[in-house]
Amino acid sequence: MTITTPEVDHQPFDIERIRRDFPILKREIGDRQLVYLDNAATSQRPVQVLAEMTRFYRDHNANIHRGVHTLSVEATDLYEEARRKIARFVNARRAEEIIFTRNTTESINLVAHGWGRKFLEAGDEVVISEIEHHSNIVPWQMLRDERGIVLKYIPMQPDGTLDLEAARNIIGPKTKLLAITAMSNALGTIVPLDVLVPMAKEHGAKVLVDGAQSVPHLPVDVQALDVDFLAFSAHKMLGPTGMGALWARYEILDAMNPFMGGGDMILTVTMERSTWADVPAKFEAGTPNVGGAVGFGVAVDYLSALGMDAVRAHEVELTDYALRRLGDVPGVTIFGPPSAEERGGVISFELEGVHPHDVGQVLDTHGVAVRTGHHCAQPVMAALTVPATARASFYLYNTPEEVDRLAVALEEVARFFGGA
């Protein structure tokens, strides 16, 4: 089915109105109002998403594609409408190019198994980078060990950006796939896809983009990017957990092997052999997360109404303020690109003399939720020569006042552990 893009009446970016849509932000941790700064791990959900998912289970719950009764038809229509919404959101040519998965991790594994196992041979090269999430490292290492492909990586520079000169030497005639994040979950680095994608295409390589961090925060147009695969997750963009998507060019999906076998992904089954259903059903074996798809679609509606340019502008302004505010806290070292324009709303930092886990625990007593650890990016931590960092990550409902709360709490952490 082809995609038509309706006119969207963008709402003014009214932060107070937006925050009213997220009841969890009114919660108190101890006696402090919650400051939620762990959005790179998962975002919160607006009442619109929660209400529509509840309405689905209350009024329409049924299995899809398998029944002629009213509830099944309604559930099928809602599921496929969600697919169309998501296709429009990333500017896919066809709704069938959206494959529903559990998350970005499953989407990347689908490509590794369904495309990589079929089309990659021993000696073929897959290029990744040093700033990847483990989800875009481990599947290719597994395929390397199984098939004998060669795995290369683009190194990270001290400021958290990629070494593009090294990339020009690494991406070459044997490169069959560039699998690259659009935005680092650990550092917020925005990767220059406009530079790297042409390098890969020059040698006829396919390009997979890990969009887990970029799709929720930046305008994304798969046709303009000229990539072949895009993986992303609902739960990082106001939708439910356990729901993700893989976009890929239809002709590539059509040529790929299924990832899983079972019900609903077949055309025929005999005791001797099976044949596959058309795309996208070929990749969606078993009963899907229909309610999750409905929530995913409503989340996309919410973001579309705000406009992704407005979301990005808000986060640039907030991140710029946070870089300056946290930079004034004694003992804080910030990792990653120096300017807000070069990064998403992610700031990884360390506090001199205090382990990141201790930082996170004390911040929690102030009602401030941040992430601590290696952020599923151990090669990044190794390159920074730190065991872990604390990470504050922002989204469309965060405010400068919350950044102030974080900075004041960090000052108290420093005093607490410094004995001042």
Q: Same domain for 161 and 274? A: yes
Q: Same domain for 228 and 88? A: yes
Using one digit for the tens of pLDDT, what is the confidence trace for 165-201?
999 999 999 999 999 999 999 999 999 999 999 999 9
> Using CA of residue 381, residue 351, residue 410, residue 360, what is the dihedral sign?
positive
The residue among 8 and 327 whose pLDDT is bigger is 327
Q: Same domain for 242 and 365? A: no
Confidence of residue 12 (pLDDT cuts 50, 70, 90): confident
Whether residue 1 has pLDDT greater than 80:
no
What's the whole-number mean pLDDT along residues 214-223? 98
What per-residue confidence (pLDDT) applies to 373? 97
Q: Same domain for 114 and 219? A: yes
Residue 36 lies in a domain: no
Using one digit for the tens of pLDDT, what is the confidence trace for 58-113?
999 999 998 899 999 999 999 999 999 999 999 999 999 999 999 999 999 999 99
Using CA atoms, how far apart are residues 326 and 322, in angstroms rounded to an integer? Answer: 6
Whether residue 5 has pLDDT greater than 70:
no
Q: Same domain for 351 and 301? A: no
Residue 327 lies in a domain: yes
Residue 18 lies in a domain: no
> pLDDT exceeding 70 applies to what percent of the chain?
97
Q: Same domain for 321 and 292? A: no
CA separation, residue 386 to residues 37, 78, 127, 335 (Å): 21, 47, 25, 11
| Structural domain that includes position 376 | 308-413
Domain-terminating residue out of 276, 305, 334: 305
What's the whole-number mean pLDDT along residues 405-415? 96
Q: Same domain for 249 and 112? A: yes
What's the whole-number mean pLDDT along residues 384-408? 98
What's the whole-number mean pLDDT along residues 33-45? 98
Q: Which residues contact 251 (CB under 8 A, 6 or more apart)?
A: none
Q: Same domain for 227 and 346? A: no
Confidence of residue 10 (pLDDT cuts 50, 70, 90): confident
Using one digit for the tens of pLDDT, what is the confidence trace for 324-371?
999 999 999 999 999 999 999 999 999 999 999 999 999 999 999 999
CA separation, residue 97 to residues 216, 250, 310 (Å): 19, 5, 27
Whether residue 274 has pLDDT greater than 90:
yes
Domain count, the chain: 2
What per-residue confidence (pLDDT) applies to 271? 95
Whether residue 420 has pLDDT greater than 50:
no
- Helix, strand, or coil (residue 168): helix
Could you tell me the two tokens for 86? 């998501």
- The torsion of the CA quartet 79, 82, 84, 85, rounded to 10 degrees, works out to 170
Q: Which residues contact 377 (CB under 8 A, 6 or more apart)?
A: 131, 132, 133, 134, 184, 185, 186
Using one digit for the tens of pLDDT, what is the confidence trace for 224-256?
999 999 999 999 999 999 999 999 999 999 999
What per-residue confidence (pLDDT) applies to 244? 98
What per-residue confidence (pLDDT) applies to 200? 98
Q: Same domain for 356 and 241? A: no
Residue 19 lies in a domain: no
**CATH assignment of the domain containing 209:** 3.40.640.10
Residue 96 lies in a domain: yes
Q: Which residues contact 184 (CB under 8 A, 6 or more apart)?
A: 131, 160, 191, 213, 336, 346, 377, 380
Whether residue 295 has pLDDT greater than 60:
yes
Domain-terminating residue out of 305, 336, 368: 305
What per-residue confidence (pLDDT) applies to 4? 59
Domain-terminating residue out of 305, 330, 362: 305
Q: Same domain for 249 and 102? A: yes
**CATH assignment of the domain containing 313:** 3.90.1150.10
H helix or E strand, kind and range, residue 393: strand 389-393
Confidence of residue 8 (pLDDT cuts 50, 70, 90): low
Residue 345 is given by DSSP the state S
Q: Same domain for 73 and 188? A: yes
CA angle 176, 161, 230 (to 5 degrees): 45
Residue 183 lies in a domain: yes
Amino acid residing at 414: A
- Helix, strand, or coil (residue 176): strand
Catalytic residues: 376
Residue 285 lies in a domain: yes
Q: Same domain for 372 and 241? A: no
Using CA atoms, how far apart are residues 189 and 198, in angstroms rounded to an integer? Answer: 19
Residue 27 lies in a domain: no
